[in-house]
């Protein structure tokens, strides 16, 4: 793949597969999935994230995906199962904790309004500096009894990973008395033994519909 050279992104949306010499992310850039359903993948010599690279809510729509929540309003599942408010079945877990590349699944709903799942981000570089945020959170439900979407996937691979930024793939909040929280997503970090990243894959909370379960973190020593 031919390199696109040094690229600095400060807004807008990216998707698909890219190669860079130096990729800099400032302000807020949304990472969506392409027409084939693949998330944003970038390989580079160096990656610097001072702003926010966000795939929040860029996964499967409500009631969709391999871990979709059910019609009772249960949360979507991925790395962790979704909250199950009425015993109709939570969104189930799926994907590979060591090589997470799957989109998060949508929450269920009694009617409409299940939250979308988080998207998928994969970065491979000689060096990755994370000062800001990399996020793939699921969306909160928004219907009368709607489950949150599950967190998506974040995969970082580099010779060196530095920084004390945050890497988040959390489940979305359940909405209403019978909306379950979305399950947490999956994060894997290779080469980041010296990094002080804050990694969070917690499930989404719920008023009374059950919290989503915690997702998975894999990090090389």
Q: What is the DSSP string of 166-216?
A: EEE-PPPPPBSTTPPPPPP-EEEEES-TT---EEE-PPP--SSS-PPPP-E
The closest of 74, 64, 139, 134 to 108, measured between CA atoms, is: 74
pLDDT tens figures, 151-171: 999 999 999 999 999 999 999
* 71: region left, alpha or beta (phi > 0 left; psi from -120 to 50 alpha): alpha
Enumerate residues 6+ apart whose C-beta is below 8 A from 167: 130, 133, 134, 135, 154, 156, 187, 189, 197, 198, 199, 200
What mean pLDDT value characterizes the chain? 95
Is the Cα torsion angle 62, 68, 69, 75 positive or negative in sign? negative
Q: Per-residue confidence of the chain (221 residues) as pLDDT tens digits? A: 789 999 999 999 999 999 999 999 999 999 998 888 889 999 999 999 999 999 999 999 999 999 999 999 999 999 999 999 988 899 999 999 999 999 999 999 998 899 999 999 999 999 999 999 999 999 999 988 999 999 999 999 999 999 999 999 999 999 998 899 999 999 999 986 667 899 999 999 998 889 999 999 999 87
């Amino acid at each position: 793949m031919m390199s696109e050279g040094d690229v600095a992104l400060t807004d807008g949306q990216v998707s698909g597969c890219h190669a860079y010499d130096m990729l800099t992310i400032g302000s807020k850039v949304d990472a969506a999935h392409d027409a084939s359903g693949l998330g944003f993948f970038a390989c580079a010599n160096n990656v610097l994230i001072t702003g926010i690279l966000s795939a929040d809510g860029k996964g499967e729509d409500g009631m969709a995906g391999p871990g979709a929540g059910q019609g009772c309003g249960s949360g979507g599942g991925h790395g962790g199962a979704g909250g199950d408010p009425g015993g109709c079945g939570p969104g189930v877990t799926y994907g590979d904790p060591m090589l997470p590349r799957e989109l998060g699944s949508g929450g269920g709903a009694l009617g409409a309004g299940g939250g979308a799942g988080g998207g998928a981000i994969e970065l491979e570089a000689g060096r990755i500096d994370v000062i800001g945020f990399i996020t793939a959170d699921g969306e909160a439900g928004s219907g009368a009894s709607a489950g949150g979407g599950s967190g998506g996937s974040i995969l970082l691979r580099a010779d060196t990973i530095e920084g004390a930024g945050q890497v988040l793939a959390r489940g979305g909040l359940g909405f209403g008395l019978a909306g379950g929280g979305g399950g947490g997503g999956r994060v894997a970090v290779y080469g980041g033994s010296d990094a002080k990243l804050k990694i969070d894959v917690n499930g989404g909370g719920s008023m009374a519909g059950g919290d989503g379960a915690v997702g998975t973190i894999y990090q090389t020593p």
